[in-house]
Copies of this chain bind each other. A is one copy, B any other.
Amino acid sequence: MKIDLLITNCVLLPVPGAETLIDPGFVAACGSHILQSGPMSECPTVEFGTVLDGQGQLAMPGLVNGHCHAPMTLFRGLADDLDLTTWLHGHIFPAEARTVCPEMVYWCSKLAAAEMLLSGTTTVADGYFLEDEVARACAETGLRCVAAQAVIDFPAPGAEDPRKNIEVAERFLARWQGRHPLISPAVFAHSPYACGNDTLLRAKALARRRNVPFFIHAAETRDEAGMIAEPLAPTPIGHLAHLGLLDRDTVCVHCVWADEQDLDLLAQSGAGVVTCPQSNAKLASGRAPLAAMLQRNLRVGLGADGAASNNSLDLFREMDFVAKAHKVQPNNAVAVPAARALQLATSGGAEVIGLSAGHGTLTAGSVADLILIDLAQPHLQPLHRSRLPVYSGCAADVRTVVVNGRVVIHNRRLLTIDLQETCAQVRRLAGQ
């Protein structure tokens, strides 16, 4: 038995949501996958490659950012304290028109990938224009990425003629499908208000033909229903259902304004949801009915959205926020417990965005995507149940990050790219 990576003597959280900790525990990986994990007493004594001492550290699955627009790091803090419509039309669309090009997408995605890895995220589901450059940046940085090429009915970077947007997406899928262990291509239809019915149908047909996930923003703002050109139902999610777009390979992002019937449609179809609570709050869009979603056993993941609307890609903050914000109005202390927040940000999100079974856990056979958290930090003392790092853990507690069996961060140092150069390139692109 060959082991490439062995983590010993850690506090092990193998399955988020189960709250069972193994202390002391171990994780052994061979190649890209986990071979075995469990109590130290069962640790195999065989030939191995790298051994990391996990003493005083929590080993847990890497976090899964269920929705992001990685290149939008360029616009972080550009326009704050504005509602979505003003923010988007008054600031972001004009800034994108000025700046989006392959070089911008590449460098700003590289910064995003670095930021995500440094805050314990090992997988992102991204959607943007020129998504090739996002995929390339993530592959180089060592971040797993479900990279979804955007489809929109306006002239866009890389698809200046919107009549060719499906063709552009199809070529993207062909370039990336099965080509890189970290990259899974997908389709991202922007929204029911920025894509006509024909485009939505053709985009979903492409995703079905290629057997890839289909992402779409839906029901983000109260006004969205009124912005759909040829509505087939009173709500955006009803509209998508009427078009036959909801199935287990469709991911509806946001769903802030999903009503009871919409939740039924999502439940019946098996469509996934990604909630982005901080972005929805900051853009004053509202708060998704997450407690009701969880009661209906919808498939739900957690997303940071872009850095322009959050303004951070830190899923530790997102977990903390989602668990706390949903406990009020109405007041219910168990609406989203800590363990559930952790599950949304790991195995829950992984399942929604189409990753293989076991992803987001540290059990035999799952991919070796994991993080080590320094439990000696003063803000993590003492160690009661707070070893679930939802209410007190933070990004900077992440010491080591492993993606696909490869150590990409060790002692908080990113080993894969030149981070200083990346930051400098982004500042240059921002005119600084």
Contacts and interface: CB of A to CB of B under 8 A. Distances in A.
Contacts of A381: 73, 76, 111, 423, 426-427
Contacts of A77: 383-388, 391-392
Nearest to A376: B423
Contacts of A176: none
Given A76-B381, A382-B74, A329 B286 contact: yes
A419 B328 contact: no
Interface residues of A, number: 73
Contacts of A285: 328, 331
A432 B317 contact: no
Number of copies: 2
Contacts of A378: 111, 114-115, 118, 419, 422-423
Contacts of A335: 284
A195 to B, nearest CB: 25
A278 interface: yes
Contacts of A385: 77-78, 80
A314 interface: yes
Given A320-B317, A382-B430, A284 B396 contact: no
A363 to B, nearest CB: 25
Q: Is chain A's binding surface mostly helix, strand, loop or mixed?
A: loop
A335 to B, nearest CB: 8
20 contacts: A76-B381, A77-B391, A77-B392, A80-B338, A80-B385, A81-B337, A86-B333, A115-B379, A282-B327, A284-B333, A286-B329, A287-B328, A287-B329, A307-B392, A310-B392, A325-B325, A378-B419, A381-B427, A394-B396, A395-B396
Interface of A: 73-78, 80-83, 86-87, 111, 114-115, 118-119, 222, 278, 280-287, 307, 310-314, 317, 320-321, 323-325, 327-329, 331-335, 337-338, 376, 378-379, 381-388, 391-392, 394-396, 419, 422-423, 426-427, 429-430, 432
